[in-house]
Amino acid sequence: DGHRVTLRFEPGRVSPAALISRVTARHAIRDLFVQSPPIEEIIARLYGGAHG
């Protein structure tokens, strides 16, 4: 198989539960992993800096 999809979203616009619900309503999901962004990325966004 080897199929992988990465979704990034703004939690202020859509909740993780709503996004997962929408995706699973349209696609068969075998495995799901939810990860928050690293704290460094969050801080960089707050201060307008680039990440990476």
Structural domain spans, the chain: 1-52
What's the pLDDT score for residue 49? 65
Query: For 38, which DSSP code?
Result: P
Considering all CA atoms of the chain, what is the largest pairwise distance in Å, rounded to the nearest integer? 40
| Cα–Cα distance measured from residue 24 to residue 32, given in angstroms and rounded to the nearest whole number | 10
What's the pLDDT score for residue 45? 84
Q: What is the pLDDT of residues 21-35, one digit of tens each?
A: 999 999 999 999 988
Which stretches within the chain are classed as H helix? Answer: 16-26, 39-46
Return the amino acid letter for 26. Answer: R
The whole-angstrom distance between residue 45's C-alpha and the CA centroid of its chain comes to 16
Residue 51 has pLDDT above 60, yes or no: no
Q: What is the pLDDT of residues 6-19, one digit of tens each?
A: 998 888 899 999 99
pTM (2 d.p.): 0.62
| Cα–Cα distance measured from residue 15 to residue 22, given in angstroms and rounded to the nearest whole number | 11
What's the pLDDT score for residue 25? 96
